[in-house]
Structure 1
Amino acid sequence: MTEEITSLFKERTEHPLFYVESGSRLWGIASPDSDYDVRGFHLQSKEQYFDFKKHRDLIEIMDGDFDFVSYDIDKMFGLLAKSNPTVFEWIRAHIIYFNNLPEWKETQQRIVKNFDFKALYYHYLSLAKGNINLMETDKKFTYKTAFYCIRGLLSAELATRKIIPELLIDKLFDQFEHENDVIKIAKDSLEKKKSKTEKEDVESDKKPLILETIKKYAQELDKNIPDKSNNPDKLKAILRDYSFELKNKYYG
């Protein structure tokens, strides 16, 4: 995968910075036919950056099972400054394909320390509710849908306790002292999800119990909204200083 990313940028003028695996492979719930969801960010070339016209801040490539998305650093850091949970997962990913960032570990830890748990809570709960709707209307009731929903609910609960949710599903389970009904359903179904194709439905007789348990858990989480937990100005300062350092290195 590292070679593919390097080869991709040989034909481009942007500078690749940081790329990881995202999605089901990162979370440890991949199926045999899961895509490789490569995510990260780049720096525009000096010519692009100082050009009078605005250049696209996004690179997207879909080639077979290779799904690649790269944000310009300004877009990426702008999202991090708002405590965007999606890109927050990218910078915490343990499957790293490419890293050309100086002293990144220290900056990464400072970003994590200053992230907003309220933003995490709303993001994960919203994802779960979207998947609940798909299952409730029977538009999409696959093991993948159920797991994405359960992962969202568990992550949202941890956010209410001001705990950073683990990305790997097994480690996420371990963050709970006791197995609740949702975790039991997840564990019982995990191996089936891994061995089946992404689009295969949950067996009809299992759907009502799974849906009822998930909906009840989501309703309880709705009553426990966390307060805003970070200092956004401090987070912005961390990102601004690091962005200045990188741009000075490439453009100076």
Structure 2
Amino acid sequence: MNIGLSDIQKELSRIEKENRVRILYAVESGSRAWGFASRDSDFDVRFIYIHPLNWYLAIDRQRDVIEEPISGQLDISGWELSKALRLFRKSNPPLLEWLGSPIVYADNHGLADRLRGLQRKHFSPISCLHHYLHMAQGNYREYLHGETVRIKKYFYVLRPILACAWIEKYRTMPPTEFALLYADAGLPSDLIIVIDELLRRKMAGDELDLEPRIAPLNDFLDERIAYFGKIGADMERGGVATGELDDLFITMLHEVWQLNSIR
């Protein structure tokens, strides 16, 4: 199945109509956004949406996600705006990665730019470093701990480790694209040779399944996981004031649904 931009945008329009919502922002996430997708990688489309005012006035809490059945290579899901803002308040890394995705399918009413502005002021380095460290630890433990390993999973440990390095160095959200993290990392030449070859094989569609562990890469990841496990106590916690997000939420309701008054 060959999926194009128009196919994805048609699906997003259908979701809006069937759920009576407006999609404010939609992007590619996962390996295609990271820049190391193979030819048969899924399209992982993620979006933020908003309901009409009456939905928010119900006394019972309602479902705040939309998850479409995976169809072929297409995996689409989204978060309701107030849910997304609560996660943004805590510098939720998956959400912040959406804001940094290089592949954007919809960008309406300036939500993403407004969130990026808040992110620059209120980013929490320690929260994101812990997220990426736990991701690296979990993937390493599950896929790379042994003499025979799931070879493609090196990227799912290496990328969060490089993200930790970025956070330590710059105290900002790491770029979504792997290439930018990789170029900034200053890795030794022997590792670069190994990683470049793995990248070439992955993007060419090679199986990259069970193979002998790559000792230099494992040694590097072992050392970095241990190192990032010891730091972070002196990092800023950040966090956006709830009032700013309340104001943004009300602004979006007003602009999307053209309300005269919301207060």
**TM-score for both structures, normalised by structure 2:** 0.84
Does structure 1 conserve the Cα–Cα contact (< 8 Å) formed by 2:127 and 2:237?
no
**Aligned mates of 2:191, 2:243 — CA distance in 1:** 39
Does structure 2 conserve the Cα–Cα contact (< 8 Å) formed by 1:29 and 1:169?
yes
1:49 maps onto 2:56 in alignment: yes
Aligned identity (percent) is 25
Shifted more, 102-111 versus 240-249: the winner is 102-111
| Mapping for residues 158-177 of structure 1, pairs under 5 Å | 158-161=166-169, 162-177=171-186
Shift, 1:137, TM fit: 4.2
Shift, 1:139, TM fit: 11
Task: Say which SS state the counterpart of residue 249 (structure 2) adopts.
Answer: helix
1:196 maps onto 2:205 in alignment: yes
Count of residues in Structure 1 that have an aligned counterpart in Structure 2: 249
Shift, 1:172, TM fit: 1.2
- Matched to 2:224, the amino acid is Y
Partner of 1:101: 109
**Aligned mates of 1:59, 1:73 — CA distance in 2:** 12
Partner of 1:185: 194
Does structure 2 conserve the Cα–Cα contact (< 8 Å) formed by 1:160 and 1:226?
no
Shifted more, 176-185 versus 236-245: the winner is 176-185
| Mapping for residues 166-245 of structure 1, pairs under 5 Å | 166-177=175-186, 179=188, 183-196=192-205, 200-204=208-212, 206-225=213-232, 227-234=234-241, 236-245=242-251
Partner of 1:8: 15
Does structure 2 conserve the Cα–Cα contact (< 8 Å) formed by 1:42 and 1:70?
yes
Does structure 1 conserve the Cα–Cα contact (< 8 Å) formed by 2:102 and 2:177?
no
Shifted more, 158-167 versus 30-39: the winner is 158-167
Does structure 1 conserve the Cα–Cα contact (< 8 Å) formed by 2:125 and 2:238?
no
Distance 1:139 1:244, change over 3 A: farther
RMSD: 2.4
| Mapping for residues 47-196 of structure 1, pairs under 5 Å | 47-61=54-68, 62-102=70-110, 104-137=112-145, 141-161=149-169, 162-177=171-186, 179=188, 183-196=192-205
Shifted more, 208-217 versus 50-59: the winner is 208-217
Q: Deviations over 1:117-157 (max 9, x none)?
A: 11111011111111110234459933431101000101011
Shift, 1:106, TM fit: 4.2
Q: Which runs of 5+ in 2 are unaligned?
A: 1-7
Partner of 1:246: 252
- Matched to 1:119, the amino acid is S
1:36 maps onto 2:43 in alignment: yes
- Matched to 1:113, the amino acid is K
Q: Deviations over 1:27-79 (max 9, x none)?
A: 00101111110112111233322223322101001222111111111110000
Distance 1:135 1:196, change over 3 A: same
**Aligned mates of 2:252, 2:148 — CA distance in 1:** 44
**Aligned mates of 2:11, 2:41 — CA distance in 1:** 18
**TM-score for both structures, normalised by structure 1:** 0.88
Distance 1:127 1:183, change over 3 A: farther
Task: Say which SS state the counterpart of residue 19 (structure 2) adopts.
Answer: coil
Task: Say which SS state the counterpart of residue 232 (structure 1) adopts.
Answer: coil
Shifted more, 142-151 versus 67-76: the winner is 142-151
**Aligned mates of 1:180, 1:224 — CA distance in 2:** 26
**Aligned mates of 1:140, 1:117 — CA distance in 2:** 34
**Aligned mates of 2:111, 2:48 — CA distance in 1:** 16
